[in-house]
Amino acid sequence: MPKAILFDFDGTLADSYPAIAASVNHVRAAHGLPPLSVEEVKRHVGRALPYLLEQTVPGTNLEADTALYRAHHPSVLVQGTQLLPQVADTLAGLHARNTPLAVCSNKPVQFTRTLVQQLGISQYLIVVLGPEDAARPKPAPDMLLVALKRLNVEPKDALYVGDMTVDIQTARAAGVGVWVIATGSDSLEALEAAKPDRILSRFSDLLLL
């Protein structure tokens, strides 16, 4: 049993892609560009907002478009996000075992903190971090190491759970075990090729630890 479990957010704990796509399309509309589908946006999620905008808004002015995205996103944040199956019960079960839980996501942290409250899982999480809380975003290990320091847990005693190859890279860089689930931006084949410690078939399999 790990002494702490850290989670990615988008695609791991929640399906937030409709909200993200809505804000991406708001920025695209300001550039006179047609909307993208949720699936077209989804594959670019998880590597922080600058990357998302660079991939989805040709000719993006990052400073202006980041501000535009951030200003729009609260209007779609809650209604465009829902917990993935088995997440709430699994977090509750792990919390009942006194396992410290945290979120480490490349999503802007103000949005993640709002969502964990609105989705009813904040009581299970000791730490919620975003790219603003570390020197570098994922795949750098910084965010995970900040969380583990706050939890007073050594990397070798922790597990990171994500949905992308970038999560595997981040965990490896931090010296943390890594399990993934194919509910997010990367395919099962891509996850298998990146060789995590385990691929979960169901989120609730975490309760078998």
Distance CA 129, CA 107 (A): 9
Q: Nearest 5°: CA angle at 176, between 170 and 180?
A: 65
Is 8 annotated in the active site?
yes
User: Of residues 8, 10, 15, 142, which has the active-site annotation?
Assistant: 8
3-state DSSP of the chain: CCCEEEECCECCCEECHHHHHHHHHHHHHHCCCCCCCHHHHHCCCCCCHHHHHHHHCCCCCHHHHHHHHHHHHHHCCCCCCEECCCHHHHHHHHHHCCCCEEEECCCCHHHHHHHHHHCCCHHHCCEEECHHHCCCCCCCCHHHHHHHHHHCCCHHHEEEEECCHHHHHHHHHHCCEEEEECCCCCCHHHHHHHCCCEEECCHHHHHHC
Angle 49-56/62-72 helices, nearest 10 degrees?
110
Q: List, by residue number, the catalytic residues.
A: 8
